[in-house]
Amino acid sequence: MIQWLIRGMVYLGSLLMVYNIYGFVRFARYVKQLKSRNANNRLLYIPIGLLVCFLLGYLVVGFFGNPDIVMAGILFGGSIFVFVMYKLLTGVTQRIVENERLQAELMAAEESNRSKTNFLASMSHEMRTPLNAVIGLDAIIMQDGDLKPQTRERLKQIDASAHHLLDMINDVLEMNYIESGAMKLNEAPFSPGDMLDLVNVLAQTLCGEKGLDYRHEVVGRLESTCVGDVLRLRQVLLSVITNAVKFTPEGGTVRFVTEQTAIDSAYCTLRFEISDTGVGIDPAFIPRLFESFAQEDATTTNRYGGSGLGLAITKRLIDMMHGDIAVSSEKGRGSTFVITVRLGVVHETADEVQDGALVARNVLAGLHILIAEDIDINADMLADLLELEDITTQRAKNGQVAVDLFSQSPPGHFDAILMDLRMPVMDGLDAARAIRALPRDDAKTIPIVALTANAFEEDVRQSLDAGMDAHLPKPVDTDQLYDTLRRLLAKHG
């Protein structure tokens, strides 16, 4: 009985060793497929040769020897050990290969995303540049009091169409920016009251143009100063209000209610309710409402316009703010959107009050501003816009000329600089750095504003890092430009 056990262990060990040799041969071929044949690959055949010798030893002992139970156990255990090591080796190798494959796919996806972002940034600049001229020149012509009513109406249609195109460009770019993970919130103190005043002015204008009744109500009191990204919060509110206006027929009502629902020493919670008496939403469609390009039916875009990205962007921005948005609606009876956000709370300082007063008192008439812009039509349009506020200008066709004009002028000759970023010879970023490095006092303090079609947040950071004080996107928003100049001039005294 013992001899049968011994022989069985030897033969089973021999069969297992044959399998091990077969497995190592397959493993060697697998590795050769992963990398080119070289001296290192030949090392894989060394253990195969050793295992063949091991197998021959098994056979010699089994057929010509007289093994005892200890030797048979050692031989059988060696085969099991080699089998376990073979399985571990192949498992680890396959896991490494899979990780390398996933890493390569991740790098390829990141490179594809960078290429897409660069392409969109370039296309943004190319599309915004002519739009800047269209919107700016339209605004200047509209200032003419002798325009015929029919001409003025057509100019309004041009302006509306240009802004509609701009909105679609902005939506596509912003969604790409959010999905790439590059967007960051700019947390800073702001006045909720001032933000609501601006939202109400814009909402009232939209409703007035369409013949809607607009109602705004603040329940209770609001903190005088909160901390958050006021631009993104305002964007969220205006996006929902604009949607309410779009889907509410003439004679309807849009209602906007703001309430501070919670407050402690560090945070407050604001609740915004926007309701309308418009066409409403099918309850079955509400779960898909915040998906990109989602439309309730195929005719929605034709009837109401839009890119289908507005609410998708709104939802993502609210998520970034750690807020919440809820929707209730009934087809034919209107919709209600409830937005809740949690903001930081700070106490307003005396300096901030003083700065606000300075901005309010400051006027633009009499300023002399240097415009660095290489495109003639954009430079002329910008000069005309500034002339409306009795501002005189001087133009530089590239960054190097701007640096030369500033360095050769007496101190205080220019009150501010409007700097395009993409220019020949020297771009706006290098020009701003060169001006800040000049050995004169006003070089450190003169307000420099980037005016560019590059609208990504990375472009904003690059502008600020180069020494600029503000970054305004093209097409130029006239009121935003004036307000920025007032604020910066008040800040620099």
Whether 86 contacts 24, CB under 8 Å:
yes
pLDDT of 93? 76
Whether 310 contacts 301, CB under 8 Å:
no
Q: Is the pLDDT of residue 1 over 80?
A: no
pTM above 0.85, yes or no: no
pLDDT of 296? 57
Q: Is the pLDDT of residue 307 over 60?
A: no
pLDDT of 39? 46
Kindly indicate the confidence band of residue 302, based on its pLDDT and cuts at 50, 70 and 90: very low
pLDDT mean over 456-467: 81
E strands, 346-400, in order:
368-372, 392-396
pLDDT of 301? 46
Rg (CA), the chain: 35
Q: Taken in order 199, 204, 209, 210, is the CA torsion positive or negative?
A: positive
Which of 439, 445, 437 shows the shortest CA–CA distance to 417?
A: 445
Kindly indicate the confidence band of residue 165, based on its pLDDT and cuts at 50, 70 and 90: confident
Q: Is the pLDDT of residue 51 over 50?
A: yes
pLDDT of 309? 66
Which of 57, 68, 64 shows the shortest CA–CA distance to 13?
A: 57
115 class by beta-carbon count within 10 Å (0-12 exposed, 13-18 middle, 19+ buried): exposed
- Which tokens belong to 33? 């497929």
pLDDT mean over 325-337: 91
| Cis amide linkage into residue 475, ω under 30° from 0 | yes
Considering the chain, what percentage of its residues have pLDDT values greater than 90?
24
- Which tokens belong to 171? 């939506």
Whether 170 contacts 310, CB under 8 Å:
no
What does the pLDDT look like over 90-136, one tens digit per residue?
777 778 778 878 888 888 877 776 676 667 666 666 777 777 778 88
Q: Is the pLDDT of residue 418 over 80?
A: yes
Contacts 24+ apart (CB under 8 A), 335-338: 335/244, 335/247, 335/275, 335/276, 335/278, 335/280, 335/281, 336/273, 336/274, 336/275, 336/276, 337/240, 337/244, 337/273, 337/274, 337/275, 338/271, 338/272, 338/273
**How many CA atoms, within 13 angstroms, populate the side-chain half-sphere of residue 41?**
13
- Which of 82-91, 134-143, 423-432, 456-465 has the largest mean confidence? 423-432
pLDDT mean over 47-68: 70
pLDDT mean over 414-435: 93
Kindly indicate the confidence band of residue 396, based on its pLDDT and cuts at 50, 70 and 90: very high
Q: Is the pLDDT of residue 446 over 90?
A: yes
Q: How far, in whole angstroms, is CA 424 from its chain's centroid?
A: 28
pLDDT of 308? 56
- Find the angle CA(229)-CA(232)-CA(235) to the nearest 5 degrees: 145
What does the pLDDT look like over 332-378, one tens digit per residue?
889 999 999 999 887 555 454 444 444 444 578 889 999 999 988 88
Kindly indicate the confidence band of residue 327, based on its pLDDT and cuts at 50, 70 and 90: very high
Which of 416, 421, 415 shows the shortest CA–CA distance to 452?
A: 421
Q: Is the pLDDT of residue 250 over 60?
A: yes
